[in-house]
């Protein structure tokens, strides 16, 4: 479950 959160955060960071 934590992996999903990390992936989302990473995606947002890369998107920004």
Span 1-16, pLDDT tens digits = 799 999 999 999 988 7
Query: pTM to 2 decimals?
Result: 0.16
DSSP for 1-16 reads -HHHHHHHHHHHHHH-
Q: Which two tokens stand for residue 6?
A: 């990390």
Handedness of CA 8, 11, 13, 16 (dihedral sign): negative
The four Cα atoms 5, 13, 11, 1 give a dihedral, to 10 degrees, of -10
3-state SS class at 8: helix
- Give the pLDDT confidence score for residue 9 in this predicted structure: 95
Question: Which residue is associated with the tokens 């947002």?
Answer: 12
């Amino acid at each position: 479950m934590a992996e999903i959160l990390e992936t989302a955060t990473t995606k947002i960071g890369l998107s920004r």
